[in-house]
A and B are shown apart, each in its own frame.
Chain A
């Protein structure tokens, strides 16, 4: 399958500042890539280059098959951009605002109205069509901005902080919306500081630091690459006394407590049944055996604060 977003050595320099340096990645149809990184890492600049707003200093990028430098109009027609700041015209009414952007994207008025109503309904903005945007709450503005990005039904979505300023219920609506958009074979890039959200919606994570891609992969693969193999926790209904001698050979113990132990394994599907079988043979009562939860935040902090080179997981 051909990627909908593809960059090769994409770089952007502003005078002496290297905002983005040598980014190479691809996003397939139906895939969500979360772009993570501290403020000033180059996420927004990358998004702007993919949206054909800024021109790369070096390298190339193709969006929906179009070159961002040579075919900027086609690229812009193929993307839906949700900017970091919603950038709404506060004196306009909601429907009027969407109609304006529909026209700017070359849609007919009837088509724009139909899509505008559908999107406003999806994001719970029905009944607000005639209301001035200045009267909208921050969450409502963000939802309307998302509707604007989806108005022309683009195959590629570039979403910068899509759930910022939203209450939990609205954020959930948007997250579910992103998941449903992914299933419609769109390629989506989400820039976010919300790591839980990134883990929940993204198929792959790309972490940028000082303009360079320092880690890329699925959330689990990144965890494995950065934090090591999964760690399993075994809890017993009795103290550990004498338990360790019953553990099968080759199991790497990491930590022990009064009635629990943790071990690292690169093959849980083989090791876990062996451990459970050993416990059963020793007639030791097992309460739970589960994987220790490792957050993306740990990975992120390790990557962003560390000095390691690029991690491709």
Chain B
């Protein structure tokens, strides 16, 4: 009987109910929620009315029309911003006050505790947001006889919900890396900054009137919430919560973890390189396949974009380049050591940037960056085909000679970045988030130093000294 009493949602609800009751007793949470629920929407009503009246006087009624739905989104967003504070308080705060240990000693599972706290962090702010939206819409209906379309209402409600879920699930991940609310608040900027950027983006979209884009944002947000939720479930466990003191930065430990992963068990550079080829590379075959698919997709996107944004055919006539091609090549520094250094540094810089962005986006942004040159090549190839030129000749002359080294470098680099970006999602047993990440950073460095860098050196050499000669031979016959 005891089993069933604690099973499933009931255990979750026990935790959630206690936390919600606790929030209802805290004036620091209640006061802003009441203000944002009842007074803020009324203020927004007034603002909307004034703005619409003002812009209508100058014949810019459109601005007013776009402002009203934008304010609807704002009315929903302000109360949910409190969910971040509540979540940090619920997860990091309870850990800091040491009230979590008695809770961890109960038969409730990690998942029940996590879900209970998640629901509690979301319930009040979302209720306040929905109520605020209702008050705002009621005011609009009474004062301006303005009613939202069903689609807009659904979009705003879903956006509000998705943003709240992202903030709360993100707060759990943040809290798992701290033992104090102060540290959690400092780390919260990792959430606040992207969410602020998102709100600005949503505002632009709403003023632009491209409401269909909001569906993609809703989809993206729920996807991110899913990823963060999965991370949270993995990180919110008894071992992580009480087993580690993680606020102090220990550079020696960080270096030790990284170096162990980077060096592996090798005792000489030759053994290390052999291990990179025989162990690291085979381990990365799944991300390599994903990157290969992405690069192919980039090429295909570029190819199809050529049909939409077609270049004039005469611009693509390679035969007209004639003897001028050599002059142009020399002007760009090709066939010189200076050109080689420039290309190599540029490629390394691009990969470092892709790595940096990949770390903060689970590798997604880096994939997009890697797709870009392939999309450009695809775009030109598509245009070549449309203009009736020989695409294969174009690729053979200007791309393939150095692509034989550059594409493998991109594949391996992309795979290493993807592994690094996704390291926070796939926790190994008995390892912390930071241990996992440092191990992935070590693996990234192994692949980068052992394979990507030599391939980039070779690719730059080919691009500067071989490709121009092949191009001259194929395009001008010289």
Residues of A within 8 A of B243 (CB): 14, 54
Q: Closest residue of chain A to B99, judged by CB? A: A87
B349 in the interface, Cβ–Cβ < 8 Å? no
Bound complex: CA A127 to CA B21 (Å): 22
Among A254-285, those with CB < 8 Å from B are none
Give Cα A81 to B3, complex, Å: 20
Q: Which of B25, B98, B239 contacts A91 (CB 8 A)?
A: B25
B6 contacts the other chain (CB 8 A): yes
Contact yes or no, A53 B103, CB < 8 A: no
Main secondary structure of the interface of B (DSSP, over half): helix
A91–B22 touching, CB < 8 Å: yes
**Which positions 208-253 of chain A face chain B at CB distance < 8 Å?**
none
Q: How far, in whole Å, are A105 and B5 apart by their CA atoms in the complex? A: 9
B100 sits at the interface (CB 8 A): yes
Q: Determine how close the nearest CB of chain B comes to the CB of A57; give it in whole angstroms.
A: 8
Report the minimal beta-carbon distance from A118 to chain B, rounded to whole angstroms: 19
Contact A85 B105 (CB under 8 A): no
The interface residues of chain B lying within 8 Å CB-to-CB of A103 are 5, 14
Q: How far is the CA of A108 from the CA of B6 in the complex (A)?
A: 11
- Please, which residue of chain B has its CB at the minimum distance from the CB of A91? B25
Cβ contacts under 8 Å, B1 to chain A? 106
Fill in one digit per residue for A65-95: 1 if any B CB lies within 8 Å of its CB, else 0. Answer: 0000000011011010101010111011000
Give the interface size class of chain A. 20 to 34
Q: Which residue of chain B has its CB nearest to the CB of A158?
A: B105
When distances are taken between beta carbons in the complex, the residues of chain A under 8 Å from B98 are 83, 85, 87
B121 CB to nearest chain A CB (Å): 16
Task: Verify if B244 is at the interface (C-beta below 8 Å from A).
Answer: yes
A145 touches B102 (CB 8 A): yes
How close is A291's CB to chain B, nearest CB, in angstroms?
A: 42
- Pick the most buried of B106, B239, B242: most chain A CB atoms within 10 A of its CB: B106
How many residue-residue contacts, CB under 8 A, span A and B? 81
CB distance A101 to B3 under 8 Å? no
Chain A window 41-68, contacts with chain B (Cβ cutoff 8 Å), 1 for yes, 0 for no: 0000000100111110000000000000
How far apart are the CA atoms of A234 and B271 in the complex, in Å?
78
B143 interface hit (Cβ, 8 Å): no
Contact B97 A55 (CB under 8 A): no
Which of A51, A73, A89, A108 has the most B CB atoms < 10 Å from its CB?
A89
Chain B residues 335-391 with CB under 8 Å of chain A are none
- The 25 sampled A-B contact pairs (Cβ below 8 Å) are A14-B243, A14-B244, A52-B238, A53-B104, A53-B238, A74-B107, A77-B2, A77-B107, A81-B102, A83-B101, A83-B105, A85-B98, A85-B101, A87-B97, A87-B98, A87-B99, A87-B100, A100-B18, A101-B102, A104-B11, A105-B106, A106-B1, A106-B2, A106-B107, A108-B5
Residues of B at the A interface (CB closer than 8 Å) are 1-3, 5-6, 11, 14-15, 18, 21-22, 25-26, 97-109, 238-239, 242-244, 253
Q: With A73-B107, A76-B107 given, name 5 new contacts (CB 8 A).
A: A54-B239, A77-B107, A83-B102, A104-B103, A105-B107
